[in-house]
Amino acid sequence: MEAHLLEWLNLSVRWVHMITGVAWIGASFYFVWLENNLNRVNPKNGLAGDLWAIHGGGIYHLEKYKLAPPTMPDNLHWFKWEAYFTWLSGVALLCVVFYSNPTLYLLAPGSSLTGTEGVLLGIGSLFVGWFIYSFLCDSALGKRPALLGFILFVLIIGAAYGFSKVFSGRGAYLHVGAIIGTIMVGNVFRIIMPAQRALVAAIAENRTPDPALPAKGLLRSRHNNYFTLPVLFIMISNHFPSTYGSQYNWLILAGIAVLAVLVRHYFNTRHDSHKFAWTLPAAAVGMICLAYVTGPAPMSSAPEVAKAPGTIEYQPLPETALGGGKKPAEAAPAAAPETAPAQASNAGPDFDKVHNVIQERCTVCHSAKPTSPLFSTAPGGVMFDTPEQIKLQAPRIQAQAVASQIMPLGNITQMTQQERDLIGAWIVQGAQTQ
């Protein structure tokens, strides 16, 4: 029951995070587009520009003041809660997924950190990242946006590299995203909102507003806009083990971030010209190149271990993986139908060994009745109870247990490299079960 409740808690928090994130990013995209497309030719007195638009069966006329109108309107809409709830739900999701069981999801197998140290490093990095970013923006670099952007990029990718040495691939990626998200919400909370409050207060007190504060808020808003596409990629990256599961995951993240920023820059500047249109085909070519270089190395033949019978030596399965230290067959006899052993015995010596490895290392979680206390149902609905199920999932096994080695999670069942090579050789030979 605990695993079932945790799954629904994960779903609820993730859903809130997605809903509020869509609202925040949508507003960011819209207002940057609005700013870029204002008609600034001969604006009315006091206006910076205006824009006519049609949407949803109606025509809208939007005007932007250089600073503020002479008097405040009765109803003024603020945009802040989308940002705040996106960050709060994101932190809650980090706690539910990574911090509640850091040795399984957060830390890399063999990491030098304890679970508590990993959690403290993750939380501390969010605030350290914000203060470094804010310091650089307020320094002389703030007046050199290109150089500032390059330095921030190097620092963020440096953080990704450092995380990859102690965190799992997913943990490293999500914490880079969390740092960026903290910077974005920090911009809203510490810069953009205070500037807007100062503007409103000046109007209410019949003072001339300070133009420096709104300008600073607009700059930070643009920073947030360029951060959005890399953050969106990180939010979906846990579905793609060829990215975060690679030994060069930090470089892959750097490449995708560069492509995302280039694409965003085109959409931010196309109102003036299409001189950055080349970024779109360049991004497509870049993604193709990344797909090529992250592909698994071809295996021309089976390693010797797959040919020689009796060479697989199992390590004792951790008690935490099974809940009480029972073997899968003892803990959940219904997880492997009675026909499975007979099918495996007729499947040939190579598959017989593969079948034993998968039953020992994988069905702890991926079974009709998982023996791990962490799951009430098989993650993703993927089960390996029968030879037919194993053969059907062979491409996924190759991607996640052989090529990227992100499975088993945290290598909790201690799958050896010898066993991974055996499975990979069996898949290369055609994944035959008979």
Structure tokens at 283: 């991004």
Q: Provide the pLDDT for residue 374.
A: 67
Domain termination site, one of 236, 258, 293: 293
Q: Provide the pLDDT for residue 99.
A: 94
Residues 208 and 324 in one domain: no
DSSP result, 258-303: HHHHHHHHHHHHTTT-STTTTHHHHHHHHHHHHHHHTSPPP--S--
Is 215 part of any domain? yes
Residue 51 is classified by DSSP as E
Is 46 part of any domain? no
Residues 320 and 401 in one domain: yes
Averaged confidence pLDDT in the chain = 83
Confidence of residue 323 (pLDDT cuts 50, 70, 90): very low
Is 50 part of any domain? no
Q: Provide the pLDDT for residue 302.
A: 42
Is 192 part of any domain? yes
Number of domains in the chain: 2
Is 55 part of any domain? no
3-state secondary structure (DSSP) of residue 414:
coil
Residues 136 and 205 in one domain: yes
3-state secondary structure (DSSP) of residue 369:
coil
Q: What would the pLDDT profile of 251-270 be if each residue is shown by its tens digit?
A: 999 999 999 999 999 998 88
Confidence of residue 301 (pLDDT cuts 50, 70, 90): very low
Percent with pLDDT over 70 in the chain: 86
Confidence of residue 385 (pLDDT cuts 50, 70, 90): confident
Is 68 part of any domain? no
- pTM for this predicted structure: 0.75
Residues 239 and 386 in one domain: no
Residues 310 and 391 in one domain: yes
Residues 269 and 327 in one domain: no
Domain termination site, one of 272, 293, 314: 293
Domain termination site, one of 270, 293, 316: 293
Q: What would the pLDDT profile of 169-208 be if each residue is shown by its tens digit?
A: 999 999 999 999 999 999 999 999 999 899 888 888 888 8
Nearest to 392 by CA among 366, 357, 353, 361: 366
Q: What would the pLDDT profile of 193-249 be if each residue is shown by its tens digit?
A: 999 899 888 888 888 888 888 888 888 988 999 999 999 999 999 888 888 888 889
Is 42 part of any domain? no
Q: Provide the pLDDT for residue 127.
A: 95
Q: Which helix (H) or strand (E) holds 64?
A: strand 58-65
Question: How many whole angstroms separate alpha carbon 431 and alpha carbon 395?
Answer: 9
Q: Provide the pLDDT for residue 202.
A: 87
pLDDT above 60 for 333:
no
Residues 158 and 135 in one domain: yes
- Spatial neighbors of 51 by CB under 8 A, at least 6 apart, are 34, 37, 38, 39, 61, 62
Confidence of residue 278 (pLDDT cuts 50, 70, 90): very high
Residues 170 and 206 in one domain: yes
Question: How many whole angstroms separate alpha carbon 86 and alpha carbon 184?
Answer: 10
Range(s) of the domain holding residue 203:
2-37+79-293
Confidence of residue 101 (pLDDT cuts 50, 70, 90): confident
Residues 200 and 118 in one domain: yes
- Average the pLDDT over 349-360 and give the result: 83
